[in-house]
Chain A
């Protein structure tokens, strides 16, 4: 599980859903949750939180503009790659710290990923969990 620390900078509520913006360094990451400030005590502006997301939910793209719905985008550099036959684990260095991504080995080959390469790590907002810290 990847963990990124941040501060809640925005909460948009609609019914029982909240779209939470979390300031992490210079970047804003977003999470959609089934909770509101009334049901979740730490859901307040300025609260310290951690964003949690699975390695298997981290999408890897080459840098540059992309016509794609994923809005949580973190620039990173590939630090190391462990290749399995079907799956590979990528350790990434980013401004938010070390992240791990598990993608198919075929994709590693197709994108010609190797240590030192610059990439974008992307996560859907419905894959981000929140936890107070």
Chain B
């Protein structure tokens, strides 16, 4: 169980901002922090990790107090049982991928190291140094390194942004398995709606330093709770007018589909927007292939 209460004055491009958050998270649960750039997501992760001191508040993880402003408790990062992947990977440049993982490995867990290397697809790359690896490959090393200690709390800041779809899927499945096997509690920052829906039990939407909405991914993203059973989330790729209707081309996972909407609806859409596509279960036809 994690209880966090964090208050911090932050400075962003838009000026000063008061971050004030409170949330509880059960052991083995995963929470996604979702919101615009500068809303305070990364700062929250850094405060949980002990890399950024809050102005006031409290962090208690599994009954252990990591931070308490009133009691003057502030455990350094190395004493907090966490794994993290930040956007800049922060790998040791002079160590190979394998050595980067070994650095954090507990004694007697060598089998787990091999499993991690295999699942992250690092078999061929394990003896290369970060400088010889691509962004996506470095991200995989960083993710494997974060998991190597089976931490109580895993903090992930856009952990798969540099990966292609297939590798992303593979590592998401791996994360879900690892979470179930080791009871990992995960706090994730992600803008990828598919990833958020797949990986998180709960989503907290951050706006200017505070949580404006919290709930399951379905509650948060399918706000209208439309009864239609044929629902997907997708991204707008293209908007095109044809006579009195507008044809919206959408990317849903790896599929490109088209949906016809009215002029009024088209005016509310822009290329890049995330949308929920809903239809009644009565409409689609199925063709066995």
Q: Which residues of A (73-107) have their CB < 8 Å from a CB of B? A: 82-89, 100, 102
Contact of B226 among A32, A34, A87, A131 (CB under 8 A): A131
Minimum CB distance partner of B225 in chain A:
A132
B264: chain A residues at CB < 8 Å are 100
B262 and A89: CB pair below 8 A? yes
A129 and B244: CB pair below 8 A? no
Q: Which residues of A (11-55) have their CB < 8 Å from a CB of B? A: 31-35, 40, 42, 52, 54-55
A84 and B224: CB pair below 8 A? no
B269: chain A residues at CB < 8 Å are none
A129 and B226: CB pair below 8 A? yes
| Distance to closest chain A CB from B176 (angstroms) | 25
Query: Known contacts being A35-B227, A129-B227, A130-B227, is A1 close to B265, with CB within 8 Å?
Result: yes
The docked-state distance in angstroms from the alpha carbon of A84 to that of B244 is: 6
Query: Known contacts being A87-B244, A88-B244, A102-B245, is A126 close to B226, with CB within 8 Å?
Result: no
For the complex, count residues of A whose C-beta is within 8 A of B. 28
A129 and B243: CB pair below 8 A? no
The docked-state distance in angstroms from the alpha carbon of A42 to that of B265 is: 25
B229 within 8 A of A: yes
A84: chain B residues at CB < 8 Å are 242-244
Minimum CB distance partner of A90 in chain B:
B244
A42: chain B residues at CB < 8 Å are 225
B245 and A87: CB pair below 8 A? yes
The docked-state distance in angstroms from the alpha carbon of A25 to that of B265 is: 25
Contact of B227 among A33, A55, A56, A102 (CB under 8 A): A33
B280 within 8 A of A: yes
**From DSSP, what is the main secondary structure of chain B's interface residues?**
loop
B119: chain A residues at CB < 8 Å are none
A102: chain B residues at CB < 8 Å are 244-245, 262
B256 within 8 A of A: no
A126 and B282: CB pair below 8 A? yes
A31: chain B residues at CB < 8 Å are 227
A126 and B262: CB pair below 8 A? no
| Distance to closest chain A CB from B96 (angstroms) | 53
The docked-state distance in angstroms from the alpha carbon of A102 to that of B260 is: 11
The docked-state distance in angstroms from the alpha carbon of A85 to that of B242 is: 10
B281: chain A residues at CB < 8 Å are 34
Minimum CB distance partner of B241 in chain A:
A84
A127: chain B residues at CB < 8 Å are 280, 282-283
B26 within 8 A of A: no
Q: Which of B226, B242, B281 has the most CB of A within 10 A?
A: B226
B224 and A126: CB pair below 8 A? no
B262 and A55: CB pair below 8 A? yes
A40: chain B residues at CB < 8 Å are 225, 227
Q: Which residues of A (48-77) have their CB < 8 Å from a CB of B? A: 52, 54-56
Contact of B243 among A34, A56, A86 (CB under 8 A): A86
Minimum CB distance partner of A43 in chain B:
B227
| Distance to closest chain B CB from A129 (angstroms) | 5
B227: chain A residues at CB < 8 Å are 31, 33, 35, 40, 129-131
Residues of A within 8 A of B (CB): 1, 31-35, 40, 42, 52, 54-56, 82-89, 100, 102, 126-127, 129-132
Q: A126-B282, A132-B225 are in contact. List 16 more A-B contacts (CB 8 A).
A: A1-B261, A1-B262, A31-B227, A33-B227, A34-B229, A34-B281, A35-B227, A52-B226, A84-B242, A84-B243, A84-B244, A89-B263, A102-B262, A126-B280, A129-B227, A131-B226
Residues of B within 8 A of A (CB): 224-229, 242-245, 260-265, 278, 280-283
